[in-house]
Amino acid sequence: MCGIAGILSPDPEHRAAIERMTRALYHRGPDDQGYYHNGKIVLGQTRLSIIDLQTGHQPISNEDDTLVLVCNGEIYNSPALRKALVEKGHRFRTRTDVEVILHLYEEHGDDCVKHLQGMFAFALWDRIRQRLLLARDHMGQKPLFFTTGPGTIFFASEVKALLASNLVQPEMELEGMWHYMSLRFMPDQFTFFKNIQKLPAASRLVFENGSTRIDRYWDIDFLAKHSGSEKEIEEGLHHTLLETVKSHMLSDVPVGAFLSGGIDSGIVSAMMASVQEQPVPVFSIGVKEQSFNELPYARMVAQRYGMEAHEEVVESNMIHKIPTMIHHMDEPSDPFGVGVYLVAQLARRNVKVALSGDGGDESFAGYDRFAGQRLADYYAVLPRWLRQTVMDRLIRLIPDSFQYKTIAQKARWLNEMSLRERGDRYAHSMSFLRFTDDAKRSLFTEKSQSTFDSQDSREKILAHFNASNVNELVDRMLYTDLMTRMPDHLLVIADRMCMAHSLENRSPLVDHRLVEYAAAIPGNMKLKGMKLKHILRSVSARYLPRELVYREKQGFGFPIALWLRNDLAHFLRNLFAESRFVEAGIFDQKVIQTLLDEHLSGKVDHNFRLWILLNLELWYRMYFENTSVDQMHEITARMMRA
């Protein structure tokens, strides 16, 4: 696991920025750093030593030094690849896993990426051809950002490294932000900064002769389905998942696991324990509010397998951690990210590597909205006029308790979704708790909207929902999530929040081979009637307590709605009274004030919307007013007590 950076430019003053860029990535690799300088290219790397602790230094070259590589990530099938390459006559200099990429490039050129099983983002310089190849793994677990100019390209593992060059100035990307307000993630190649792009998942970028070419090398096929009975397919899933977990344990240092109390992290941890003699270190966090607390279920798994359990309880003072989280995200933080940040902090005190359960919901239909689509069809039997008038008024009378999955929230969601169909319904469900396009048109001022192309954000979802390589409704939803929320939201958070603590996070359920297997499972085995994750639950029942496997999905969450109404109410009023987005003419002050008043009075739960606005305010101060993390801590403390 590493941080990588590079500059390809004829200007030596440009190339001199590589050390500043690399230093900005120190947290991604505090164990070592290295540089490569040759002609118009410079490469930098910081290393977190996991495999080949002694000789795995980067940048690394092939036998005749014609190819040079910097790579962030792990190649889980490197032992098998190495053996095959040695048999073909290739000579290896180290035991590090990423060296196989150099020799695969010698054999297969740009298609070397198609042979890799792992998480990776790499840059490979072909000295003879004066050609740069950048690539990201199949699912987008490892990040890579870039910006180009005449005859130049700058790239790095994080945006902050590009900004540290002082050759790229921060400028707000309002079109991308428009979509973020609805989707909770930046779609396509957008980042929060104009002229800085992300290389999409499963993509290659070739920079040659001053021009850039990007192409996608892999996609998921949902059309071809497994033959055989459900029992046979379940057995195949069990075997594939167990082998995937084993491969993800490849390491020269101890490996632990996140254990949240759900079935995804539970089965990964249990499988680790089943193949390892030593107790598996597991890490769990909880909250005092019992309706949100999953620690009791995590303990069930830890006790069953004699795991080395570590726990921590979180309180509402987590607001003081948000500036640090924003610094590592280079964008607004997310409620889900709070949990990952804290459990990663706990884990890093004991291990360098931790496996997680990320990806189970996206491949096996684990979110309520998947079943909710079917429920909305049943509810839509009621006449449309009745749902739009009488039912809407009655539902709005239901008081909201500001807890998790309240009746008020569910009823409003169901009624609103029933008024839409298929793709439009699913796309709208993404923005239901955040900002719909109508809500954004009120929030963004007319002046700010005139400066960018304010497209319908639902199109970012429908582009995948209506793809030709999917036909079943449940698979359309899964494919959409795997192409959008997974690489652009969940894996972004997992990477940055773990790397903030120099911890390597591995996600077996995101392995592209497992994703391919899951895609070929018939949809009615993943979502069986209204039963979420049916086939994965069946496999999990072999390892986990029944009361954990078959309980209602809870999720890795916090009582943020309550915290915002109580402990943080004073902070919100002070923060929004000095809104930088209002001062800049981007947002309408009245709309923000209405959201805040309705939430604090208990009229409407706006916690997701307020969280976005809160984080944007802090992010703006840090990236456009050069407010440091320490200074931001002082400002938040002042606003808490002023």
- Positions marked active-site: 2
CA distance 127 to 176: 36
CA distance 28 to 25: 6
Output DSSP code: residue 281: E
Quick one: tokens of 167? 């050759």
Residue 203 bridge partners (DSSP): 216
Q: Locate tokens 């792009």: which residue?
A: 197
> What is the DSSP code string of 19-41?
HHHHHTTGGG-BTEEEEEEETTE
- DSSP strand pairing (145-149 vs 131-136): unpaired
Alpha helices in 59-191 (DSSP H): 78-87, 99-108, 159-164, 174-183
CB atoms within 10 A of CB 103: 23
Q: Are 387 and 543 in contact (CB under 8 A)?
A: no
Q: Are 360 and 533 in contact (CB under 8 A)?
A: yes
Q: Are 180 and 613 in contact (CB under 8 A)?
A: no
- Cα 299 to its chain centre, rounded Å, is 26
CA distance 464 to 541: 33
Q: Who contacts 584 (Cβ-Cβ below 8 Å, separation ≥6)? A: none
Q: In terms of Cα–Cα distance, which of 456, 457, 454, 479 is closest to 466? A: 479
Whole-angstrom Cα Rg for the chain: 24
Output DSSP code: residue 602: T
Q: Are 256 and 350 in contact (CB under 8 A)?
A: yes
Residue 71 bridge partners (DSSP): 122
> What is the DSSP code string of 366-405?
-SHHHHHHHHHHHHTTS-HHHIIIIIHHHHHTSPP--STT
The region, left, alpha or beta by phi > 0 then psi within -120 to 50, assigned to residue 306 is left
CA distance 411 to 392: 9
Q: Are 151 and 210 in contact (CB under 8 A)?
A: yes
Output DSSP code: residue 587: B
Q: Are 144 and 155 in contact (CB under 8 A)?
A: yes
Quote the longest CA-to-CA distance of the chain.
Answer: 76
CA distance 439 to 218: 36
> What is the DSSP code string of 416-448?
HHTTS-HHHHHHHHHHTTS--HHHHHHHB-HHH
Q: Are 347 and 503 in contact (CB under 8 A)?
A: yes
Q: Tell how many helices (H) and how many strands (E) occur in the chain.
A: 33, 17
